Amino acid sequence: MEPIAIVSGVRTPFAKAFGKLADVSAVELGQIVVSEALQRCELKPDAVDEVIIGNVAGPADSANVARVIALKSGVPMDRIAHTVNRNCASGMESILQGCNLLSSGRAKTIVAGGTESMSQIPLLYSRKATEAWMRVARAKTLTQRIAAFAAFRPKHFKPVAGVELGLTDPVSGLNMGETAEVLAHDFAITRAQQDEFALASHHKAAAAQEKCFLSGEIVEVPLSRGKPLDKDNCIRPGQTLEQLAKLKPIFKRDGSVTAGNSCPLTDGAAAVVLSAANDVDRFSRPPLGYVTAAAIAGCDPKRMGLGPVYATAKLLDETGMSLSDFDLIEINEAFAAQVIGCDRAMQSKSFAEKELSRRTAIGQMNPDIVNIHGGAIALGHPVGTTGTRLIITMLRALRASGKRRGLATLCVGGGQGVAIALETELET
């Protein structure tokens, strides 16, 4: 693909759902990052041609959340905006669509990103309960209204958690945690290995926070009560293996996936400004980096966590690159078992032959270069946002370490994977 410049990028702090950002809507979160991303590259809203935002749990009062965010951010009304949903990869999909539009010449400047308020995913009522309320609404007389109310039963007042439905795959019938249990079983991943991985994620994230690395990509969020939130609050600096070992499995009685070795429900948003690589001289500072290649692949929904393996294999096949060509790797930590499973699948020759039509294994994800500042287990995973966050963090990490080439990849609920190749500098 034609390289596309990521001129600037920013995100909000990531916060545990139902916590600090619970009262901040997906629109408000998105508006904050879009405005800040523009400001960081000294670009006015009227310079934007199009806004593309990834979002999974679409707010009922903002059907095209990207359009609402664009207008509230000051982007002129004659500019267009649309929302994309590729589940967990929505924040990547928005950027990839922006890349395609820039390459086609349809736009000169695009803002892309993701936003998610998992706190504000509504509680739902069953079809039977909805019908009961409809009878009340249609009642024309007092007698009819009394009869309609008299037909209510306790079951009609039991809500269904929308977030629970959203995290359950309707094809396989498994929720995301249960798919992680499938991988733990298939790849013989122990509870101890998962907990050790989770612990490392928290320790790396805590170190990055202590060194103020993460603050470089964060814009604070004003709160209605108290001080603005200016840092991630999912990170547990004092996390120990002993604490993790005490947690019970939550998806399978005799399983190994716990709240401690899974990513938490999270609120947050992120945005980047995109431009054609040959048109960056108009900005006051050099780009963060460039998107140089991407691949999207499908896989079994029951083993959706392996999506990065299929997508990375496709990326490598299409570009002629190898895993060793990347200086750093960012892979979303939906679950510890999922990332460990991906690494084992990438190292497996038999998996490569059977599943990827390759004669050789993809290779090992060197732990020294993977998620060096922690991942979603510690930072959180606002599903529509994470793809954008991975790209911003990757490019900043490459620049901070003096390295050049990175791979950002994630699994997608429903059985997909996305892999994106990034570079800080293009070859001349």
Q: What's the pLDDT score for residue 284? A: 86
- The answer to whether the CB of 7 falls within 8 A of the CB of 253 is no
pLDDT(120) > 80: yes
SS3 for 161?
strand
Residue 256: band (very low, low, confident or very high) from pLDDT cuts 50, 70, 90 = very high
pLDDT(213) > 80: yes
Continuous H helices in 212-327: 241-245, 307-319
Closest CA to 311 of 325, 294, 292, 326: 294
Is 299 a catalytic site residue?
no
pLDDT more than 90, % of the chain:
94
Domain range annotation of the chain: 4-121+264-423, 125-161
Which class would CATH give 4-121+264-423?
A: alpha beta
SS3 for 152?
coil
Q: What's the pLDDT score for residue 160? A: 84
How many of the other CB atoms lie within 10 Å of CB of 381?
26
pTM of the model: 0.95
Continuous H helices in 139-280: 142-150, 162-166, 176-186, 191-210, 241-245
Q: Which of 41, 88, 99, 263 is catalytic?
A: 88
Is 411 a catalytic site residue?
yes
For residue 127, what is the enclosing H or E element? helix 127-138
Ramachandran sector of residue 81 (left: φ over 0; alpha: ψ -120 to 50; beta: rest): beta
- The answer to whether the CB of 369 falls within 8 A of the CB of 4 is no
Q: Which of 41, 234, 373, 381 is catalytic?
A: 381
pLDDT(316) > 80: yes
How many of the other CB atoms lie within 10 Å of CB of 286?
13
Q: Which of 41, 99, 299, 411 is catalytic?
A: 411
pLDDT more than 70, % of the chain:
100
Mean pLDDT of the chain: 96
Summarize pLDDT for 22-65 with one digit per residue, the tens: 999 999 999 999 999 999 999 999 999 999 999 999 999 999 99
